[in-house]
Structure 1
């Protein structure tokens, strides 16, 4: 995609995003995505050679191979949001093979999905695209809804499916978060022993985080701290929602803060808020991939390209886009994912 097309899609936000200079965390402090990212960041870590091999396999697959950036297709919404709600717009994805076909056709770095999906097609596809097996889910049938995650299989089972990595969700801030932290940290330790990389869906959930009509579950300060907890349990890649607000700790009046968090380390610019997330990922040592979010129809392409620009210029490592791709005709889903990848391939778009 030409840079002019990207600018057109950004519309009125083009100037504020493409010309922004970050004056919070200097880009010189970051561990930036690059072709030799694994050598520079992980070679001196405790990750064994098999984990390094797995991390490299993810970064060296698809259209973004060798750039240090990642475009991942996640399709676990059949459990997390019900299969009917997720696949009604495009029923072909009730068949899990089509999920893998979309990721392959789009040139994704990896596909992240459930035990059931990957078990159904593992022999045919595990050697063709890196699998990220999602270990746990919120099963969504319990009423009223609870913010818990249940293990749907073992790390060993993921390894037997030929997985390159395992993924898991922790709902930081929920009543069940203590157990989730213990359970997922133990699973990640075992995954590393077996040579698999680890990806953490690093979300925050608490009804008290919603105040005066604003949802601070996506605040820069709160999500940043969630990221810091995620890398502390040795997640190699952090998946997080883009921040769209700040000051959650101060508005809700809990946690520990410093005025510099809001006056020096962040600003109202979305790139600066995202950079705060990157900084909390040990200055980018764990790659930050931001999620695409729900599909809004015609605006999906422009919104997703905007998210990619924010993530890339902030120092992030890519996007993980699901519903906006698979809730539309197959070819249009491929085009949307290609548009995301084109942002990361565009040399004109650099670190802020």
Structure 2
């Protein structure tokens, strides 16, 4: 989940000023004891603001600290994320988790309500391979697209509270699909199951926290066995399961993993749709700027044509910028996918979109931003929106 922020003109309240002060003090702490002192006070303030649904104060402090640079921004962002996804009571620790799945399909990637028997199968596999022995689990009965996830820290905290109660009773949470927005169909995308994991205070929550567990083993077994439980939720889709973990960390990892996955999916889609080999494809890679480097766009053509038939957006995340070797990473993914020709453009492109449909414009071999259009005979079978 990208943390990059653009400054807004938010009025600083006393709560905002206190957030800024405590975060700055925590960032300058020189010992674990002092860390605990400032963390305790910052935690109390953030939890109160979340309970009061005061998103504005949190965002104003984050915007100020992001513009100021230094470690204080990360300290506050970590604290806000932690307080929105973690719950404690006298007997248990509870954390909001996300179960991310990368998917692509020539058809619509499903989202929405999940049947009880399908949810029970996922629950069994999570208990078997991801969660600690004494952990309890509560799952929401909904398969989320990215735009159906909680849209603010306060929304996240409210969902965490509901799921924490469900987890402590070992049951699932029923959601009203009418309360969630529709999702835009993409060729490749991420889907999430959300839940909460509860364990006795100080006890392991996840399998890798136990003496004989590891993250790599948990992911391997989850992919091998959990895939069978996830498959009925995503019919006619190619999928790749990521490690279920704490909500914000899982969402960030899904953002990162979805970029190379979208490129590989784009190549596979063109091979399948156009009945051609990957070696017959050309990829044109170009950087796109607003005030800073925002993303790379990759236009695909046949090697014997200059017409852009598909496009993929590779967004910049976290602290990535011009100095990051992102272009080399994109080229490596394309080479591994078997693309026959890769053209790297190094001049700055403006963020341009189609005036009619709002779709991104992608670079062609001459370095011109153009609309991606499949040949007419294949266009009807493709998703409306292509990343």
TM-score scaled by length of structure 2? 0.25
Task: Pick 1 or 2: higher relative contact order, CA cutoff 8 A, min separation 6.
Answer: 1
